[in-house]
Amino acid sequence: MTSDLSSIPVLVAGKLHEHAIARIRDTFRLVTIEQIDPSLLTAEMRETVRGVAAAPVVGGSFVGPQFLQALPKVEIVANFGVGYDGVDAAYAGKNGIMVTNTPDVLTEEVADSAVGLLISAIREFPRAEAWLRAGNWVTKGHYRVTPLTLRERRIGIFGLGRIGLAVARRLEPFGLPIAYHNRRPVEGVSYTYHSSLKALAEAVDTLICVAPGGAATEKAINAEILAALGPTGVLVNIGRGSTVDEAALAAALTNGTIAAAGLDVFADEPNVPQALLDAPNTVLLPHVGSASVHTRRAMADLCVDNLVTWFSEGRARTPVAETVNVKAR
């Protein structure tokens, strides 16, 4: 442990928040590469880098065994974001490398976005605004009466973690029944638990996905789940795009299997399937759930704070589950 961190090389791989880069530059010895790619590492980087600040996953980049093996002195990967499926945390943990993320500081912002996306999808607010801006209110009259309403809906949350709970708390005052599916029940909540995602979908007509990415949830929301949700069903996804079978979703929106969807995340960002773009009963956002100046700055601070406490105190502020027992070297 040391109080002088300026000699410690920290690698920023990819496009990281500017506030995080500034703090790393002021605190450590900043080194950068354009993307997470072992071939971009110089000999000096391979020999000296002790920390990595990982930008959000873009274009399939991945902090995995090959990248970490190329940095034999790396001790910590500080992930910018609460989701860390862009880092092989299991491999890191087994090899004595700490991985951190940025929970809590974005919870409220993302939960706000989820509720806004839900109401926008149900009440067609973006389409109504487009109607007004196109002059149709003047030339054609009122926008149509929406077939869907939030009234009397039944809410299902897939992934009742920090953000899922914050979404549930926001929806409680609407007087809507709330149920959820997790790998296991959550202690201390009164919401109805369903042991399978299909059982949850059968019991509700509004499914809000806040589940993490990864193999366990890959395309978990598929044609079967969408059919169970039913013709008045609405899907909102603010978790990870990989959790939804996007081809099945596009088909379900087209053929009336479900009524509408609001999506802030996609499987291959920034590429959105044309079939979803073409579907009029969608509200699509470019992964902006946490994208306020306030919240992104807080995320940047926590990302860097994990690096600071690791190298100065030998502890991480927010270790992920797979590396919670990793000790400083």
pLDDT at 21: 97
Domain 9-103+293-323 adopts which CATH fold?
Rossmann fold (3.40.50)
9-103+293-323 and 107-284 share one fold: yes
Question: For the chain, which residues make up each domain, given as ranges?
Answer: 9-103+293-323, 107-284
Of 19, 29, 123, 287, the catalytic one is: 287
pLDDT at 231: 98
For 182, the 3-state DSSP assignment is coil
In this predicted structure, the answer to whether residue 57 has a pLDDT above a threshold of 80 is no
pLDDT at 60: 52
296-318: pLDDT as tens digits = 999 999 999 999 999 999 999 99
Query: In the block, which residue shows the tokens 């940025």?
Result: 102
220-275: pLDDT as tens digits = 999 999 999 999 999 999 999 999 999 999 999 999 999 999 999 999 999 999 99
Note if 329 is an active site residue: no
Q: Give the CATH architecture of domain 107-284.
A: 3-Layer(aba) Sandwich (3.40)
Instruction: List beta partners, residue 193.
Output: 180
Note if 17 is an active site residue: no
Note if 269 is an active site residue: yes
Closest by CA position to 103, among listed 328, 326, 329, 321: 321
Decide: residue 305, CB within 10 A, 0-12 exposed, 13-18 middle, 19+ buried. Answer: middle
pLDDT at 244: 98
pLDDT band at 149 (very low <50, low <70, confident <90, very high): very high
pLDDT band at 61 (very low <50, low <70, confident <90, very high): low
In this predicted structure, the answer to whether residue 3 has a pLDDT above a threshold of 90 is no
pLDDT band at 62 (very low <50, low <70, confident <90, very high): confident
> Each residue of 238-272: b (16+ CB within 10 Å) or e?
bbbbbbbbbebbbebbeeebbbbbbbbbbbeeeeb
163-202: pLDDT as tens digits = 999 999 999 999 999 999 999 999 999 999 999 999 999 9
What is the C-alpha to C-alpha distance for residues 59 and 209, in angstroms, rounded to an integer?
Answer: 22
Closest by CA position to 54, among listed 4, 117, 97, 2: 97
Of 172, 269, 297, 317, the catalytic one is: 269
CB 275 within 8 A of CB 250: yes
pLDDT at 329: 85
For the segment 93-110, the average pLDDT, to the nearest whole number, is 97
pLDDT band at 55 (very low <50, low <70, confident <90, very high): confident
Average pLDDT value over all residues in the chain: 96
Of 240, 246, 296, 322, the catalytic one is: 240
For the segment 93-99, the average pLDDT, to the nearest whole number, is 98
Dihedrals φ, ψ of 40, to 5°?
-90, -5
Query: In the block, which residue shows the tokens 């980049």?
Result: 61
Instruction: List beta partners, residue 209.
Output: 158, 237
pTM of the model: 0.92
Full strand arrangement of the beta sheet holding 98-100? 29-33, 9-13, 51-54, 76-79, 98-100
pLDDT band at 81 (very low <50, low <70, confident <90, very high): very high
Sequence-distant (6+) residues with CB within 8 A of 60 are none
